Structures are given as C-alpha cells and as structure tokens.
A and B are shown apart, each in its own frame.
Chain A
Amino acid sequence: MPPRKKRSSTAENEVDKPKKRLCSKKSADSSFSVKRCTTWFKTYCSAENDGSIGPDGMEKFCKDLGVEPENIVMLVLAYRMEAKHMGYFTLNEWLKGMTYLQCDSIEKLNRKFDVLNASLSDSVTFRNVYRFAFEFSLENGIRSLDKTTAIELMNLLLDGRWSLSKEFMQFLEQSKFKGMNKDQWYNVYEFSHHILPDLSNYDEDGAWPVLLDEFVEWHRQRSNKTSETGVDC
C-alpha cells in the first residue's frame, strides 16, 4: 500500500472520526483485516502462477520488506504459513501466516521480525522450523535434497547454532553422497542437539544414520592428524 500522507495535528480531530469508520488507521494497534491482507497479497501475485505469489512476486516482497530472500526470517514466515513450495505462496498460506502474526501490511510485518527471530531461540520451534525447511525445499516429486541445496539450507539454519556446523559442511562437500533424505536431515539436528563438540558421547550403537557415522570418523581422523602435527611443533 502507498505510504500515508501526513496530516496536520489541527485537522486531526475532524479527520479522525471519518477515518475510524473507514478503518484505515495508521497506528500499530489497528486491527487485522482479512480484506486488507488479501489486497496486500494481490500486489504480489501474478496470473501465470494461478493466483499465487511466484518467484518474481517473492522477490518484490522481499525487497519491500528489506530482507534478502535467504534470510532465515523468510523461512520462519513460510513455516507459519505452512507453505508447500519454496518460492511460492498461495492465498490460503498467506492468510494463514499473516493471521497468525496479525499482520496485514509491510510495516506490521517488519515490526514482527524481532518476534519471528526470537521464536527461533525456543528449541521446539526451532526444531519444527528446521524440519519444515526440508520438505519446503524439496523439488516436485523428488524425495531427497540435492547436495548443494542441502548444504546451503543447513548452513542457514545451523551456522552459529552448532559449533561443528562448519566442519560438517566441509565433510559434506568432500563426501560422495549426492542427496540427503528426510531421516538424515532430521538426525543431523538431533546430533547437533545431543552430541558434544568433542564427540565424546557419540555411541556407535545409537542408530545414527551411516552418514553421521562417517562424519564422526572423518572428524576424528582429522583431529588426530592435527594433534599429531601439533606435537611435532
């Protein structure tokens, strides 16, 4: 929506009343309106995407918000919307998310960013967002995430939250695996949550996916090598 023109304070009283009736207040505690939300939606959607927001609309949306599309906030937003495909929002999804957040405008959404970001520090929410991210990023019909996407996505979510995330990315880069499936994805999170950085409480019988077994071995070999060279010095 176009930005509001500023009114002079003297004229306010007279103008306020009719504004109230029209429900077009500027202040933050104006109530949420589905209609407004829908209108807002329509500014991004395009016909070629069957009335959903497509990649172009998404780009515009992000620009308006002032965030990059790779920002984790977008992911949380998509999670709240229960969006099915990355890069696309349907009207229902839009409404669902925005209703949850009680936002029907850019400004309101901007203000909610802190809340969205903060919600990630709750481990349950984070886990759900993490899990959601996998299915969200899948290509149509394919059940596993290709290597590059997996690494990017994982980096986005786990960098800064897991001390071994950089090492794990390195491991994935040099390993021969081509795609990550849901079970592996989920288990990486569990791993990051339960296993100590020095891998001391990692048990081989812990039913971890073979991928993680290999990571542990790779990591241990590396640390042995570095510690050996350390001694020589």
Chain B
Amino acid sequence: MSGISKGGKKDTKMRIRAFPITMDEKYVNNIWALLKNAIQEIQKKNNSGLSFEELYRNAYTMVLHKHGEKLYTGLREVVTEHLINKVRVEVVDALRNNFLQVLNSAWNDHQTSMVMIRDILMYMDRVYVQQNNVENVYNLGLMIFRDQIIRFPLVHSHLRDTLLTMVAKERKGEVVDRGSVKNACKMLMILGIDSRSVYEEDFEKPFLIQSAEFYRLESEKFLAENSASVYIKKVEARILEEAERATHYLDKSTEEPIVKVLEDELIRKHMKTIVEMENSGVVHMLKNNKSEDLACMYKLFCRVPDGLRTMCDCISAYLREQGKALVTEDDNGTNAITFIQSLLDLKDRFDHFLHESFSNDRLFKQMISSDFEHFINLNPRSPEYLSLFIDDRLRKGVKGMSEQEIENVLDKSMVLFRFLQEKDVFERYYKQHLAKRLLLNKSVSDDSEKNMISKLKTECGCQFTSKLEGMFKDMTVSNTIMEEFKHHLQQSVTNLNGVELYVRVLTTGFWPFQSSLSKCNMPSAPNMAFEAFRRFYLGKHSGRQLSLQPQHGSADLHATFFGIKRANTGPMDLVDEGAASSSGKSLRRHIIQVSTYHMVILMLFNKKESWSYDEIKNETDIPERDLMRALQSLALGKITQRVLSKDPKTKDIEASHMFTVNDQFTSKLFRVKIQSVATKGDTEPERNETRNKVDEDRKHEIEAAIVRIMKARKRLQHNVLVAEVTEQLKARFLPSPVVIKKRIEGLIEREYLSRTAEDRKIYTYVA
C-alpha cells in the first residue's frame, strides 16, 4: 500500500482503498454528518433506507482515528435535540389528551431507535466508552430521556399526578387502564439504569404518601361504621388488593412497602380501638365464642409488631376478670366441686380458643397459664377445694364416668395443680381426704387412686407421695394381718364374745392424724376383743405400740326398739295400749351402722335408760367437739336417723339435756346407716388449725433449706441466700423474704449460722 496521500479526494463510489491513518478535519466532519443524518432518520423511523454496514464502518473509522469524543458528544447533542424539540413538544401537547399513551409511545420509539443507534455505534461502546469511563450509548440515551422528558417539570408532575389519580380511581372501584400504568412504571424502572431510584423518586414515594393518606381516612371511616370483625375482613381484602396491584401493574418491589403502609395505617394505628371495640371487639368475640373472627384478627395482627401483644393483653384482662369472679367466695358458702369445675370449664374454653383461633401461639399459651396462676392463688382455699374435687371424683358412686373420663378429669385437675402456689397445703388436704377414703372404703377404684398418685409423683417428686404410698401399703398389710388373726382365733379357739372384729393397722408417720389425742372409754365387749387382737399383734411385732383411734372407725350394732308406751288419754285407749304393749307387735330390730363414737354413746343405754349430756361426757371421755357432733347426728338429724331423743326438743345441746333411746324409731330399711354431721370441707376453726400446721411445717422446711444451702456454700451473702431458699422451695410454696429472714435470725441465735466479722451482710456456716 502506498503511503498516505494528503489531499487524496474521497470518492463517492465504494472502493476498497488504502486505509488512511490520519484523517483530516473535513473528512471527519463528513463522516459525522453522515452519521448524524442517519441517527436522525432512525429517530424519524426512517431506517429502512440505511445501510447498517456503512454506518457501522464509519463510526468505527471515527473512533479508530481518535475522534470518539466528537462522535460521542455529537451523539449526545443529536439525541438531546431530538428529544427536546420533537418528543417533548409532542408529549407536552398531549398533557390533557392521552398523555400516558403518547408518553409511552414516545418512550417505545426512543428505545427502539436507541437500540439501533447503539448497534451502529457499537465500536464506540466497546472502545471509547470503556476507555473514557463514560456511559454507554444506550444508557446515555436513557439518561437524556430521563432528564429531558421525564424530569421536565411539566411532564414530571403531570406524570406523577396522572398515575396517582388512576390508582386512586381504582381504589374507589373504577376501572382504569392498567396497561398504561404498567408501562409507565416499567419505564421508570428502566430509567433508573442500575437502580430503582427514578421509579422510587418519581412514583413510589409519592404513591406511598398518597396511599397512607388515603388509608388513614378510610380506616377512620371504616372504624366508625363497622364492627371489628367486618373491619378486619375489609382490611384483609384491601391488603390483598394492594398486593395484587403491585404485582400486576406497579413494580413488584412495591408490594412490600405498600403492604407495610396498609398494615401501619389500618392496623397498627388502631390496634387498641379494634381490640376494645364495644360489642364487637375481642371481649365480645370471646363471650360469644366467635373463634373464626378471633382467628382472622389473630392472622391480621400477626403482621404488625406488638399486634399480638395488644390482643393478648386485652384477652388477659378479660380472663383475669372471669377467673377472679369464679374464685371469689360466695356469701352463701362455696361449693368446692362447682368451684373447681367452673375453673376447669374456663380453662377448656380458653384452650379451645388457643387451638382454634390462635394456632397454639406460645405468647397466648403463656398468657393463659400466667393468668390462671394469678387468680387461682387469689383464694387461699383453692388447694383445699382442688383436693375435695379430686376426692369427689375418686369416691364410689360417681355416676356414669368411664375410666377414660375419670382419667381426663384427673389430668385436667393436675393442670390446675401446677398453677397452685401453696402445693404443701394441697398435700396436707389430699392426705386427709385420702385417709378418709381408704378407711371408709370409698374409693372408686384402687387403680384410679394409684394413677393419681403417680401423676403427683411425676409432678412433685417422691417426697410428696411417699407417705401416700405408705398409706396404701398399710391397707394391704392390714388385710394380711386380719387373715392371720382369723386363723389364730380359730386355732386358739378364742372367743370374742360375739364381736366380729376388723382392725386396720396404720403406721403413724404416714397418716395425717395426731395419734393418742383422742381417748375414750370403750365399752367392755369391743374392748376385750381389741385386747385379744393387741396381744396377737404384739406377739408378732414386739417393740411396737398400738393405740386405738376412736375418732376413726365404725361399728355395726344390733338394735332393738321396743315400741312406744303412749301416755293415757282416756279409758278406751287404756285397753288398747295394754294389748299393744304386751303383744310386742311394735318391737323392731335393726342393724345400725355407726361410727365408733356413736357406738360408745349408744352402748351406754344398755346400762341406763336416760343420760344427760354431762353424764355422757363424763362416762365416755369423748372430746367435746366430737361428742357434740355425734349426739347431733344421733338425735337431731333427719327423722329416719333419730335413734335417740332429746329432751328438751331444741336444736342445741346443753349440759343438762337428757337423752333417751327413741323407741319410736322406724325405718324402711333393715340396715340403717347413721350419717355423720361432718361437713364436706373444713370449718373455720379447722381451717385455721390446718393453716397453723402448714405454717409450722414451712418454718422447718425453710430452716432445713437454709442449713442445707449454707452447709454446701459455707459463705453466702444475705440476698443470695434468700434467693436460693426461695428457688429451692418454690415447688411447694412461696416463702416471703421476711419469713426467711426471721428463720435466719433464729438459726443465728441457735448458732447454726453467724455473721462474718468483716461484713454483717454475709453469713457463714457454723460447723
């Protein structure tokens, strides 16, 4: 190839010629003019007559000869000029008329032409752009479009307003052209080049603001007009709608922020109002078992922080109120069974809600538990009542409950047990009631009893139940001993004088009775029989002591009632009476089942016809309170139970009142059971007694805990010690810090602990 020929004229014909290494000004300008023209044609959509190859080559040449900058700048100018002078004018013209369509088609045209332009100028893209770190052709086009069209104030604001207006219309229920909105949004997204900032600035931000405002107003309107459940449904619908809108014709990334706006405006700001709405809020729903509505509310409130907590607090307040009402003592006397049953029913109700409406959410579960714990301990008699309830279930004669049903009830009772703070009080009562059941043979089934004990064992450990199990064992052992005793009687031909004896031997530590407090004078027949047994037993187990417990125990007596001796009312009667009394027609025999005390009292009447209260007291040595009770049930109970008559016939018993056998006594049954006047639960003085015993025991337990802890740790600060003691004992009861302090002082005095010399707040263990 020859060298460069300066001034070699360019031929218009296409010829392969030597490659010029330099270009002169004119040549460059020509190329540029060509390209410029081409670009403009493209912009006018007249690209069909253009040759891609030629244009590409020309661009290539320019860049190769280091005129990239001119090309680039020129490009920018051309595009800008076109957009300003042509496109923008069109768009502004169409402001009131098909604005979005016009804008959209301008945008499409722009994109199309830019693609073509880019293709032509691809070499520049690859080389010049890279080297000089400027925007590539296509992006340059985007930027110019953005700045000259979209960001042109008129267009900018109009675009925004148009879009927002369309959304607002649709929210009101009108149908709008979703397609054009979609296109506009797409355009804005693209114009952000690598970010969504244009979309965000120009559309999304104002959109969110407008939406917030809209929903603010709407929420207030909704709330004023609607009940809570309707409101919730409407909110759900709106959320769905907005999410769908974002997905379908806004940008998908808007879904999250708009839903958040809704949640904020519709839910979060009005949480309390919704929950507390009169006649339709949470409380109303609970009262009327609207579990579905609650479920909807739950789902909705899940969305906002603190939403569930607000619901929970409201429900908690209601639950506590209900619970408190149930545990408050009735003025007429509280029935333990209904007390506990109503609590169980309440728990069932709320468990149902928990399951159906709150999908077992942990927050709600905890709330229910803590509320129950709160109000069940408001009434200090709850432990006693729970024990009575379980006692009732385990007794004979509970109609119509299968084993499985009993099991369910016991399980639920255990749930309530866990809520009790004073478990040691429950233990005490349970022992008492169990003892009664065992001794009076009233359990429905041994299996149910043992079942209950094993449940308690799982809950509280062996210490709780070891005595209960001991009681059971005593019963079995007693049976065995009685077998052996019968055998012994046969062999030794001992006569018990017609007394059929049945003895149960109870180990003192296990049973909740104070031994040896009740003594009374036994009538000779039973006494001798017992002595025979005692000899037998002590022969087998020397070194043990047996003491009779007359306050428990029962007897069957053969009773003969001789009929009445009526007073003379007239001569006619006299004849009749004489006949009646001598014929013995009104002689009646019964077997009466009574308690031991009753037996002792009744057998007195074998010795003398009538006795005064004082005489009975002195002769029998029965403690006053028990004596009163026994006489009441013998003489002042129902007519069919009055084995004795009292003179005077008042309701109360005084020292001088006389008792006689009621020969008028009749009963349809041969075997008559005399009921004791015993009340179901403790009376007031008994309750105090039990409470005192519990307090005594607690003192010992606290001291034991203190000594145990100090022995292990040797030195401990006061607060830490108190905390540790509370921790160790809280499974049984909650000791107050003051009580613990008192016990510590007691131990200091007895020299188990002492204060350290350096710091009087630290205790040390004294070995």
Contact = CB atoms under 8 A, between A and B. Distances in A.
Contacts of B741: 207, 209-210, 213
Interface in B732-767: 738, 741-742, 745, 748-749, 755, 760-761, 763
Contacts of B749: 143-144, 181-183
A193 to B, nearest CB: 11
B719 A205 contact: yes
Interface of A: 143-144, 181-184, 187, 190, 205-207, 209-210, 213
A183 B742 contact: no
B244 to A, nearest CB: 61
B718 interface: yes
A190 B745 contact: no
25 contacts: A143-B749, A144-B749, A181-B745, A181-B748, A181-B749, A183-B745, A183-B748, A183-B749, A183-B755, A184-B745, A187-B760, A205-B718, A205-B719, A206-B718, A207-B717, A207-B718, A207-B719, A207-B741, A207-B760, A207-B761, A207-B763, A209-B741, A210-B738, A213-B738, A213-B741
A210 B719 contact: no
Nearest to A214: B738
Nearest to B753: A183
A187 B749 CA distance: 13
Q: What bracket does the count of chain B residues touching chain A fall in?
A: 10 to 19
Nearest to B749: A181
Given A187-B760, A207-B761, A210-B738, 4 more contacts: A143-B749, A181-B749, A183-B748, A184-B745
Nearest to A181: B749
Nearest to A209: B745
A62 to B, nearest CB: 33
A206 B761 contact: yes
B745 A210 contact: yes
Given A181-B749, A183-B755, A210 B718 contact: no
Contacts of B755: 183, 207
A144 B718 CA distance: 23
The winner among A183, A187, A210 for most chain B CB atoms within 10 A is A183
Interface in B350-402: none
A63 B538 CA distance: 73
Contacts of A182: 749
Contacts of B745: 181, 183-184, 209-210
Interface string B675-719: 000000000000000000000000000000000000000000111
Contacts of B719: 205, 207
A138 B689 CA distance: 36
A184 B744 CA distance: 12
Nearest to B761: A207
A181 B718 CA distance: 19
Contacts of B742: 210
A183 B746 CA distance: 10
A182 to B, nearest CB: 7
Contacts of A184: 745
A100 to B, nearest CB: 24
Interface of B: 717-719, 738, 741-742, 745, 748-749, 755, 760-761, 763
A48 B755 CA distance: 41
A191 to B, nearest CB: 10
A190 B760 CA distance: 9
B703 to A, nearest CB: 15
Contacts of A181: 745, 748-749
Nearest to A190: B760
B249 to A, nearest CB: 66
Contacts of B718: 205-207
A207 B761 CA distance: 5
A143 B748 CA distance: 12
Contacts of A143: 749
Nearest to B760: A190
A210 B742 CA distance: 7
Nearest to B739: A210
A87 B719 CA distance: 42
A204 to B, nearest CB: 9
Nearest to B744: A207
B691 to A, nearest CB: 21
Q: Which 6 A-B residue pairings sit nearest by Cβ, starting from the closest? A: A207-B718, A207-B761, A183-B748, A181-B749, A205-B719, A210-B742
A130 to B, nearest CB: 14
Contacts of A209: 741, 745
Contacts of B717: 207
A184 B745 CA distance: 9
A2 to B, nearest CB: 48
A145 to B, nearest CB: 12
A189 B381 CA distance: 44
A207 B748 CA distance: 12
A143 B749 CA distance: 8
Contacts of A187: 760
Nearest to A207: B718
A85 to B, nearest CB: 21
A127 B718 CA distance: 23
A205 B717 CA distance: 10
Contacts of B760: 187, 190, 207
A209 B719 CA distance: 13
Contacts of B763: 207
Nearest to A205: B719
A143 B746 CA distance: 12
A206 B761 CA distance: 6
Contacts of B748: 181, 183
A98 to B, nearest CB: 30
Contacts of A205: 718-719
A207 B759 CA distance: 10
A182 B750 CA distance: 11
A209 B741 CA distance: 7
Nearest to B717: A207
B615 to A, nearest CB: 44
Nearest to A211: B745
B108 to A, nearest CB: 79
A205 to B, nearest CB: 5
Q: Which of A183, A190, A207, A209 has the most CB of B within 10 A?
A: A207
A206 B755 CA distance: 12
B549 to A, nearest CB: 38
